[in-house]
Amino acid sequence: MAEIKTTANERSVDEFLASIEDPVRRSDGIELKALFERATGEPAVMWGPAIVGFGTFHYTGKSSAGEWMTVGYSPRKASQSLYGLHGAYEENPALVEALGRHTTAKSCIYVKTLADVDLEVLERLIRAAMERDPNS
């Protein structure tokens, strides 16, 4: 099996977030850290060079196996990429509609800025994602 390249590491989440050049993306990243920690009850951990993750689970795929974050986010240039929420939005599309301005892909929700979304709804989505089996 192939070895996964994105793994949890000892890099400082706070230093990573402080290094983000765009002030809105940096501020949103800091706010997301607090929101995810509150919603998950888990500490923020760096995964690879640019993903902040919360919780872990073991997975076995077709070509790899290992540990992965249950939920997380990455402050990318175009948007905040929110990981692990796909099951929550597939199971409750009305909740995602209440989120506000966003786009989705197979495994992510993309938010340009936190000002575009309802943070209470986002917290509910994170909690729902933490409660479901990530291997289902």
Q: Could you report the per-residue pLDDT of 55-95, keeping only the tens digit for each? A: 998 888 788 788 889 999 999 999 999 999 876 667 778 88
Class of 8-131 per CATH?
alpha beta
Distance CA 86, CA 104 (A): 8
User: What mean pLDDT, rounded, does the chain reach?
Assistant: 90
Domain ranges of the chain: 8-131
Residue-level pLDDT at 1: 53
Per-residue pLDDT tens for 81-136?
999 987 666 777 888 889 999 998 877 899 999 999 999 999 999 998 888 866 65
pTM: 0.91
